[in-house]
């Protein structure tokens, strides 16, 4: 029996708003279904084909004048002051050396980089790197001097180079480190590590109060710098700090053989399997422990009502505190009347929210009992098919398989633009401001030679590169984003269909003991075989909405410096509207997939059925949403915190001497267990929603003796029938058989 909220006459009389009908031979979700929305599945395949064609064009496999061939090295390698990409451009500099043979970027004092062959590793004040034209002039002067009778080429070279250094056009060779094609001076890295170590030591001294004159015993084995974090159980090692031992800059240097990063890498190698084992295996096991725990009689109800009461208490306490604060401020001469009235009315507002929360809970209190029953039944279904929680792993693999070619194509596409030279300057406030921008006629993607032209920045600024793209490249990028949105949402939709098919099969099985992981595998095969087109249809809608939001974000970026406030406000409003549309469609899609899983409907029919089912059971769905949110959040926190705690305790007891920084693998376990809990919750949440729709379908389609509900849900249907017999408002087309149902001694429950 379905209780309803107020609907319009049109909604009540709509043929789509009729209660669900069960066929005489209905044997559950596994029978009597055919392929749905095949056209959308073919469209998705066509989308992948078109994406592949674009990818083959930008990688150069297929030649096309509309899109230039890309080269990922153009994104990574450095750029010289003429706009040529080091190691990529086929242009020749003033020295007649091809830039393609000079893969490293070396910065001059002016902030302008030049391309060189290798990064220098030692200081050499007798050799210089200069701007190409300056270097050409120095070489010419050197050759002329050597050819003269005096033979003073070295002196001329040194004099001209020193003069160019004063003009910021040359730079002596200094020790550098190759960082992704850029020659970064060792002195700069040393300065950064010195600043970091000084800041950390200052903080430690502050926390440890190093003016304490207490004499602390020497730790066995001495107080070497590498033992800094090991000699104390405190978060900050005050023993070492009070003895004057501090963190050195070498300790923070990423290239140090015995520094922080080297030891952290060693810790990750030592604990790699432990991190995976706890983050995935233990976290998943704790998920099942949580399911077992919430099935204990009274536990779930206590959790839900306890949280509901706690939220109400927060409203009351906060509102009351603000009221008392306003009373206190009335006697405080430093407080204005505006401040007093402001906090008073804010307190009233919060108390009002508490009152609305109370009224809302009173309206759905009986539906909350139904929601608790749905959560318990969902837990039972997952326990019956434990392999179902592993399905998100296959979804992740599917995403990774798609991402490999997609990211390759996107990298080539992004690298096919025209280089633009920009300047960035450290301002007095510490922010980085773009000083000026000059278009650089760099070598095209086809490798054409261009005339060398200098690009100059203001003194103290540094050059960097950005890319300018043609309209065709922009459209291709937008299409690639659309293909990503469609594919990722398709993988999510397919997972929701598989879970819905599995859980609904469990619900509509008389003998629940016969359901096992094999049932999930059979349901997954049927969902994949018959309804991938439906998943493609629903995901296409979400992909279109996401693409529109990307376009709006692009327009917002273009107008961010505009003085037209109306346009910026309009774009912001449209973006918010599209965000709401996306959330609503995702919710409707999820319920449509459940209808497809139960009845085998195509997407449009399933969406219509789901919409009116939601309309008829809005309070039930609200209650389930609240309860499931509470349960899922608590479950996520339990899995993550418990897994992290167990991992920390295990490493502390068994690996204390093998791990330098126990907090690093512990933090990674926490991070991985969070995503494991997310995957577990995704399946659990979908199972809860599926159980609710199965319950409604069971209630509307079958007479009491023929229903599939068991346990708490069966008792709730009996109570609902009792309420109907007493004259409660029910669905207009309620069965007379339900009104005559037995077992009607309970209170009304919707």
Contact indicator for 679, 399 with CB cutoff of 8 Å: no
Q: Which three-class secondary structure state does DSSP give residue 454?
A: coil
Residues sharing a CB contact under 8 Å with residue 166, sequence separation 6 or more, in sequence order = none
Q: Can you tell me the mean pLDDT for 644-665? A: 81
Q: Residue 560: which pLDDT band, with cuts at 50, 70 and 90?
A: confident
Q: Measured between alpha carbons, how far is 623 from 369 in angstroms, rounded to an integer?
A: 9
Q: Which three-class secondary structure state does DSSP give residue 103?
A: coil
pLDDT at res. 602: 92
Q: Which three-class secondary structure state does DSSP give residue 422?
A: strand
Q: Measured between alpha carbons, how far is 495 from 477 in angstroms, rounded to an integer?
A: 27
**Per-range mean pLDDT, top range of 542-551, 633-642, 716-725:** 542-551
pLDDT at res. 140: 86
Half-sphere exposure of 689 (CA within 13 A, CB side): 29
Q: Measured between alpha carbons, how far is 335 from 311 in angstroms, rounded to an integer?
A: 31
pLDDT at res. 603: 93
- pLDDT, tens digit, for every residue of 119-148? 998 888 888 888 888 888 888 888 888 777
Task: Tell me: pLDDT of 334 over 50.
Answer: yes
pLDDT at res. 508: 87
Q: Measured between alpha carbons, how far is 62 from 55 in angstroms, rounded to an integer?
A: 9
**Per-range mean pLDDT, top range of 53-67, 139-153, 187-201:** 53-67
Q: Measured between alpha carbons, how far is 415 from 420 in angstroms, rounded to an integer?
A: 12
Q: Measured between alpha carbons, how far is 707 from 720 in angstroms, rounded to an integer?
A: 14
pLDDT at res. 426: 59
pLDDT at res. 447: 41
pLDDT at res. 329: 85
Contact indicator for 2, 19 with CB cutoff of 8 Å: yes
Q: Measured between alpha carbons, how far is 131 from 153 in angstroms, rounded to an integer?
A: 19
**Per-range mean pLDDT, top range of 148-162, 351-365, 612-626:** 351-365
DSSP characters for 592-607?
HHHHHHHH---HHHHH
Q: Can you tell me the mean pLDDT for 638-649? A: 90
Q: Residue 513: which pLDDT band, with cuts at 50, 70 and 90?
A: confident
Residues sharing a CB contact under 8 Å with residue 158, sequence separation 6 or more, in sequence order = 126
Contact indicator for 415, 71 with CB cutoff of 8 Å: yes
Pairing of strands 170-173, 182-185: unpaired
pLDDT at res. 559: 87
For the record, the structure tokens of 357 come out as 């929360």
pLDDT at res. 717: 60
pLDDT at res. 143: 82
Contact indicator for 502, 563 with CB cutoff of 8 Å: no
Q: Measured between alpha carbons, how far is 269 from 374 in angstroms, rounded to an integer?
A: 44
Looking at 369-373, 494-498, 632-636, 745-749, which range is the least confident one?
745-749
633 strand-pairing partners: none
Residue 516 sits at φ, ψ, to 5 deg, of -150, -170
Mean pLDDT of the chain: 79
pLDDT at res. 355: 92
Task: Tell me: pLDDT of 177 over 50.
Answer: yes
H or E stretch at 362: helix 337-384
CB atoms within 10 A of CB 250: 17
Task: Tell me: pLDDT of 51 over 90.
Answer: yes
Q: Measured between alpha carbons, how far is 33 from 523 in angstroms, rounded to an integer?
A: 12
For the record, the structure tokens of 574 come out as 């449209």
Looking at 209-223, 314-328, 603-617, 639-653, which range is the least confident one?
209-223
DSSP characters for 12-75?
HH-GGGSPP---TT---TTSS-----HHHHHHHHHHHHHHHHHHHHHTTSS--SSSPPP-THHH
pLDDT at res. 195: 78
The region, left, alpha or beta by phi > 0 then psi within -120 to 50, assigned to residue 111 is: left
pLDDT at res. 489: 94
pLDDT at res. 437: 40
Task: Tell me: pLDDT of 746 over 50.
Answer: no
Q: Please state, for a pLDDT cut of 90, what percent of the chain lies above it.
A: 22
Q: What's the Rg (C-alpha) of the chain?
A: 34
pLDDT at res. 590: 92
What's the pTM value of the predicted model, to 2 decimals?
Answer: 0.76
pLDDT at res. 225: 41
Q: Measured between alpha carbons, how far is 683 from 525 in angstroms, rounded to an integer?
A: 17
């Amino acid at each position: 029996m379905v209780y309803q909220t107020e609907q319009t006459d049109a909604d009540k009389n709509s043929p789509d708003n009729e209660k669900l009908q069960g066929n005489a031979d209905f044997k559950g979700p596994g029978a009597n279904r055919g392929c749905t929305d095949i056209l959308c599945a073919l469209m998705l395949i066509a989308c992948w084909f078109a994406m592949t064609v674009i990818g083959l064009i930008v990688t150069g496999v297929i030649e096309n004048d509309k899109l230039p061939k890309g080269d990922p090295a153009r994104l990574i390698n450095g750029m010289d002051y003429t706009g040529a990409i080091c190691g990529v451009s086929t242009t020749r500099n003033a020295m007649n050396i091809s830039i393609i043979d000079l893969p490293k970027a070396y910065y001059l004092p002016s902030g302008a980089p030049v391309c060189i062959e290798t990064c220098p590793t030692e200081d050499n004040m007798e050799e210089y790197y200069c701007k190409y034209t300056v270097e050409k002039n120095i070489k010419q002067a050197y050759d002329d001097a050597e050819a003269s009778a005096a033979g003073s080429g070295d002196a001329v070279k040194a004099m001209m180079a020193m003069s160019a250094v004063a003009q910021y056009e040359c730079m002596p060779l200094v020790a550098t480190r190759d960082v992704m094609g850029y020659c970064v001076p060792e002195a700069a890295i040393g300065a950064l590590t010195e600043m970091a170590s000084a800041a950390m030591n200052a903080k430690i001294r502050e926390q440890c109060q190093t003016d304490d004159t207490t004499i602390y015993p020497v730790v066995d084995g001495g107080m070497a710098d590498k033992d800094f974090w090991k000699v104390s159980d405190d978060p900050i090692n005050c023993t070492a700090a009070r003895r004057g031992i501090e963190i050195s800059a070498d300790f923070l240097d990423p290239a140090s053989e015995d520094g922080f990063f080297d030891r952290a890498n060693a810790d990750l190698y030592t604990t790699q399997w432990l991190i995976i084992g706890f983050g995935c295996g233990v976290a998943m096991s704790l998920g099942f422990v949580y399911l077992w725990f919430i099935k204990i009689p009274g536990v779930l109800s206590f959790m839900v009502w306890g949280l509901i009461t706690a939220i109400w208490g927060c409203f009351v306490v906060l509102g009351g505190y603000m009221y008392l604060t306003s009373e206190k401020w009335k006697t405080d001469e430093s407080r204005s009347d505006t401040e007093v009235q402001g906090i008073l009315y804010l307190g009233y507002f919060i108390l009002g929210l508490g009152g609305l929360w109370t009224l809302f809970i009173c309206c759905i209190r009986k539906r909350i009992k139904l929601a608790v029953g749905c959560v318990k039944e969902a837990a039972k279904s997952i326990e019956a098919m434990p392999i179902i929680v592993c399905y998100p792993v296959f979804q992740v693999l599917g995403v990774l398989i798609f991402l490999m070619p997609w990211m390759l194509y996107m990298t080539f596409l992004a690298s096919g633009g025209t280089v633009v030279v920009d300047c960035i300057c450290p301002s007095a406030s510490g922010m980085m401001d773009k000083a000026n921008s000059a278009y650089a006629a760099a070598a095209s993607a086809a490798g054409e030679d261009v005339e060398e032209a200098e690009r100059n920045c203001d003194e103290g600024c540094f050059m960097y590169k950005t890319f300018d793209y043609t309209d065709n490249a922009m459209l291709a990028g937008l299409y690639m984003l659309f293909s990503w949105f469609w594919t990722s949402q398709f993988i999510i939709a397919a997972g929701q269909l598989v879970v819905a098919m599995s859980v609904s099969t469990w619900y509509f099985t008389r003998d629940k003991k016969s359901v096992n992981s094999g049932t999930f595998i059979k349901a997954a095969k049927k969902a994949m075989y018959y309804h991938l087109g439906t998943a493609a249809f629903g995901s296409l809608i979400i992909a279109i909405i996401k693409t529109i939001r990307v376009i709006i974000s692009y327009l917002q970026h273009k107008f961010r410096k505009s003085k037209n406030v109306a346009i910026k406000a309009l774009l912001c409003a449209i973006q918010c509207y599209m965000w709401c549309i996306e959330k609503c469609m995702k919710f409707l899609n999820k319920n449509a997939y459940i209808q497809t899983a139960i009845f085998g409907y195509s997407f449009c029919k399933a969406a219509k059925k789901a919409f009116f089912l939601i309309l008829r059971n809005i309070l039930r769905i609200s209650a389930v949403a609240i309860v499931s949110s509470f349960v899922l959040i608590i479950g996520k926190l339990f899995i993550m915190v418990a897994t992290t705690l167990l991992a920390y305790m295990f490493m502390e007891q068994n690996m204390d001497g093998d791990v330098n920084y126990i907090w690093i693998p512990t933090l990674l376990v926490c991070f991985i267990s969070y995503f494991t809990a997310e995957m577990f919750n995704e399946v659990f949440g979908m199972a809860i929603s599926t159980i609710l729709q199965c319950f409604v379908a069971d209630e509307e389609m079958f007479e009491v003796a023929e229903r599939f509900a068991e346990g708490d849900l069966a008792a709730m249907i009996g109570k609902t029938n009792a309420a109907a017999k007493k004259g409660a408002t029910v669905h207009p087309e309620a069965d007379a058989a339900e009104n005559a149902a037995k077992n009607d001694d309970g209170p009304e429950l919707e």
